[in-house]
Amino acid sequence: QNEDKIRPEKLADYIGQKDLKGVLTIAIAAAKQRQDPLDHILLYGPPGLGKTTMSLILAAEMGVNCKITAAPALERPRDIIGLLVSLQEGDILFIDEIHRLNRVTEELLYPAMEDKRLDITIGKGQSAKIRSIPLKPFTLIGATTKIGALTSPLRDRFGLIQRLQFYQIDELTEIVKRSAQIFDVTIDQKGAQEIARRSRGTPRITNRLLRRVRDFAQVKGCKTVDQTLACEALDLHNVDRLGLDWTDRLVLSTIIEQFNGGPVGLDAIASATGEDAKTIEEVYEPYLLQIGFINRTHRGRIATEKAQEHLLNVGF
């Protein structure tokens, strides 16, 4: 019931990402004063940091609709055409994983973004004709975990390009408290901090861990979540003190034990662990890089001494 309320709906309720909020606050105010739609925005950074949430907030603040889709759902030209012609004036179109668009779809977006126009080719070869369809002004918000995989013509058509950062422990602690209130869970400061510390800088993980702690507290009949209870609940799920889960530790121990600490290529790690290479690169690796457990070199990945030490200490 309360589950869908954990996404903040107003910019003022969005915790963290101070720089991003600063930039967007100005963009919203300026667009509103001029009665223009927002400029096209590219949000990039690791998954789970709030790119979709931010788009929904922008739509709410601008008083427009937000249509959410992802590049893999835009396979045929008519998928993107249908979406674009259905937009009302000022609406936001959110495309997740925008680095995965196919070429035809991407090229349909260029005149749409730049001139509010769809250029549709009718027929083939010599007799092919281009028909232009006018579009209502709209805002495209693209989200990606891999900005380097975007073509420059697409990247250059965004007026705002913003990176989302991993969250600080104190910001995640605030998110735990906010979500706990919505879930009707009583939690003390140290309990909230423990969940925050184990969240890998990522609110999506924070809220997932909080749900598991809530289950644990409920079944054990505990009224208040404190640090001891949070630790017990999260240890049960093999989430260690730094928030690394079973897969994080498998990736690290594989590099250390099977490849002598590296350097080793991503594909070799993927086949040795049975994980998908893209998932390792986009989901697991960013945080391991951030905390200095992995280094990337031109010859592959290296597990650092810090990583070895941590694995020896966690004892799972």
Please give the Cα distance from 137 to 169 (Å, whole number): 40
Measured from the CB of residue 155, what is the shortest distance to ligand ADE in angstroms? 25
Site membership for ligand ADE, residue 47 (CB under 6 A): no
- Kindly tell me which residue out of 40, 51, 177, 178 binds ligand ADE, with binding defined by CB under 6 A: 178
Six-digit token pair at 259? 């490849």
Q: Annotated catalytic residue: which of 139, 145, 202, 273?
A: 145
Mask 51-90, x = binds ligand ADE (CB under 6 A)?
A: --x-------------------------------------
- 46 lines the binding site for ligand ADE (CB under 6 A): no
Q: Where are the alpha helices (DSSP H) in 96-226?
A: 103-115, 152-155, 169-183, 189-197, 203-220
Of the candidates 13, 11, 7, 15, the one whose C-alpha atom is nearest the C-alpha of residue 165 is: 15
Quick one: 12 exposed, middle or buried, by C-beta within 10 A (0-12, 13-18, 19+)?
exposed
Residue 207 amino acid letter: N
**Residues with Cβ within 8 Å of residue 41, at least 6 apart in sequence:** 27, 58, 139, 140, 141, 142, 158, 159, 160, 161, 162
Residue 52 is among the residues annotated as catalytic for this protein: yes
Two structure tokens written together for 270: 């993927």
Binding mask 187-226 for ligand ADE (x = CB under 6 A): ----------------x-----------------------
What are the two backbone dihedrals, phi and then psi, of residue 31, each rounded to the nearest 5 degrees? -65, -40
The amino acid present at 290, given as its one-letter code, is Q
Residue 45 in contact with ligand ADE, rule: CB under 6 A:
no
Q: Which stretch binds ligand ADE (CB under 6 A): 7-15, 126-134, 158-166, 186-194?
A: 7-15
7 is in an annotated binding site: yes
Task: Consult the annotation and say whether 48 binds a ligand.
Answer: yes
Residue of 204, 208, 212, 241 marked active site: 204
131 catalytic? Reply is no
Residue from the set 16, 37, 46, 286 that interacts with ligand ADE by CB under 6 A: 16
299 is in an annotated binding site: no
Is 78 part of any known ligand binding site? no
Our finding on whether 175 is near ligand ADE (CB under 6 A) is yes
3-state secondary structure of 44: strand
**Which structure tokens are listed for 72?**
């893999």
Nearer to ligand ADE, 58 or 150 (CB): 58
Annotated binding residues, written as ranges, equal: 6-7, 48, 51-53, 157, 167, 204, 296, 301
Residues making up the annotated binding site for ATP are: 6-7, 48, 51-53, 157, 167, 204
**Residues annotated in the binding site for Mg(2+), as ranges?**
52
